[in-house]
Amino acid sequence: MNKKPIFVTKPYLPPLEEFIPYLEQIWESGTLTNGGPFHQQLESALCHHLGIEHIALFTNGTTALVTALQSLRITGEVITTPYSFVATSHSLLWNGIRPVFVDIDPDSLNIDPRRIEAAITPQTTAILAVHCYGHPCDVEAIQKIADTYNLKVIYDAAHAFGVRCHGSSVLGHGDLSVLSFHATKVFNTFEGGAIVCPDAKTKTRIDHLKNFGFAGETTVVAPGINGKMSEFNAALGLLQLKHVDRAIARRRKIDAAYRAHLRNVAGIHCLHDTGEDVANYAYFPILVGPGYPIGRDALYQRMKDCGIHPRRYFYPLISEFPMYRGLPSAQRDNLPVATEVAGQVLCLPIYPDLTDTEIERIVAIIKETVVDPTHPNFS
355: CATH: 3.90.1150.10
Question: Residue 341 falls within a domain, yes or no?
Answer: no
Question: Residue 82 falls within a domain, yes or no?
Answer: yes
Give me the sign of the Cα torsion angle 206, 207, 211, 216.
Answer: negative
Q: pLDDT per residue over 123-141, tens digit each?
A: 999 999 999 999 999 999 9
Query: Per-residue pLDDT for 340 more than 60?
Result: yes
The last residue of a domain, from among 222, 241, 260: 241
Task: Find the domain containing 195 and state its range.
Answer: 16-103+110-241
DSSP 334: G
**With bands split at pLDDT 50, 70 and 90, how would you rate the model's confidence at 90?**
very high
The last residue of a domain, from among 241, 263, 294: 241
Query: Per-residue pLDDT for 376 more than 60?
Result: no
Question: Residue 6 falls within a domain, yes or no?
Answer: no
Same-domain check for residues 200 and 249: no
Same-domain check for residues 193 and 287: no
Same-domain check for residues 274 and 207: no
- Mean pLDDT, to the nearest integer, of 173-190? 97
Same-domain check for residues 23 and 161: yes
Nearest by Cα to 84 from 65, 59, 67, 57 = 65
CA distance 46 to 272: 28
Q: pLDDT per residue over 154-177, tens digit each?
A: 999 999 999 999 899 999 999 999
Same-domain check for residues 25 and 69: yes
Same-domain check for residues 94 and 190: yes
The CATH number given to whatever domain includes residue 39 is 3.40.640.10
- Spacing of C-alpha 264 from chain mean position: 29
- Write down the pLDDT at residue 375: 62
- Mean pLDDT, to the nearest integer, of 85-95? 98
**With bands split at pLDDT 50, 70 and 90, how would you rate the model's confidence at 257?**
very high
From the number of C-beta atoms within 10 Å of its C-beta (0-12, 13-18, 19+), residue 321 rates as middle
